[in-house]
Amino acid sequence: MEQWVSDNLDKAAILAERGYCDHCLGRMFAKCGEQLTDLQRGEMLREALAEQGKEYEPEEICPLCEDVFSMLPRFAEAVAEKVLTVESDNFLIGCRVDPSQAKTEKETVEELGLGETFEPLKTELNREIGKIALPLINRAVNFKEPQVVACIDTRFADVTLDIAPMFIAGRYLKLSREVPQTKWPCRICRGKGCPRCHGTGKMYQCSVQECIGDVALEMAGGDEHFFHGMGREDIDARMLGTGRPFILEISHPRVRNIDLEELARRINDSPLAQFRDLRFVHRKYVKEYKEAEADKLYRAKVKAEGKVNKDKLVDALLSFENVNLDQRTPQRVEHRRADLVRNRTVYWVKAENIEEDTFDLILKTQSGTYVKEFVSGDEGRTTPNFSDAIGVQCYVELLDVLEIDYQQPED
């Protein structure tokens, strides 16, 4: 007789006398013995008790699990049928048990001091259902980051799927000055639909997010899409160059391995936005993109309220080299952002297409710099600023982001 068996016979006798099945008897000592199933442990304990003259037959219906293990093939088939309705590389099985069973089990464990040796009923069910379901599904099991979790309610053999989101990274070019980066709910009805938004629930009828998200959602058979950009440009600014990094999230995708080349073909005929370098990424990159601080290159078409002195303009250009700005939250966004003074750096500024009262500025700045306010001064809220430097009040008429200095991580 193995030592763990003899050490636990007194407690096992109490459980066997109550009519527990071999699964439930063995599960109370799941951390004893090696390379054994709970069923095998239960059989060993019952045989050892019989050798001592203690013949305890299990009840016809186990008072703890209610013979739920007789349903394993049905549970496995239900799980396989559900999992095979979606595309995934891996899966995991979970289950819900009757609360009364969990309560009885907890009370028994506490009564007999089995906290160090038992495993929960649902743990054994998960494992045993998985053994039968695995060859039916023919996909890998992933315990850490499963793409699909099939949860079966053992009371009704009902299976629900928890499908992990899908993440597509890339860069976008925003070619229009009339669309936002993301969906923008109507300010009047807050997305419900009203005369102002013509019943759409949106401030703008399209966005960069929708240009790619609607098509990707259709291809993946998902429920909803979310857009995670590395910052954002103003609605009236274009995003040019190699584009702004972003991640598109698709919730509950039924098809995971969509053809990204086909996706690009379908979305890149839009006059509003273009997309490039599409690839699947891990969810961890969402946080990385959100927290990244990438320097940016801009082109601003500037209008002055008077004649520009070219000598002063040249002096101003030379003066803004690695210059720190104090930027109080701009008036145009103070209704939605905290009123703070932020320190930002302008690395350099150049001028092109200089006319009497207009010119283009090319400038490289630290992430988070308010370029429009750097040019105008925002009534003294940004210091130093370009208007003060040349002695003429200036405003940005058009703004383009030419480059975002960021190297996308490799998986």
CB 60 within 8 A of CB 70: no
Number of Cβ within a 10 Å radius of residue 235: 16
CB 373 within 8 A of CB 333: no
Non-local CB neighbours of 366 within 8 Å, separated by 6+ positions = 293, 295, 344, 345, 346, 347
Active-site annotation holds for 269: no
HSE of 309 in the Cβ direction (CA atoms, 13 Å)? 11
Q: Which of 214, 234, 277, 388 is catalytic?
A: 234
Give Cα 163 distance to the centre of its chain: 12
Rounded to 10°, the helix 208-220/260-267 angle is 140
How distant, in Å, are the alpha carbons of 297, 299, 322 from that of 403? 5, 10, 18
- The DSSP output letter for 70 is G
Calpha distance 350→299 (Å, rounded): 9
DSSP alpha helices (H): ranges in 240-380? Answer: 260-267, 284-291, 310-319, 371-376
Structure tokens, 339: 């009123």
| Catalytic residue numbers, as ranges | 234
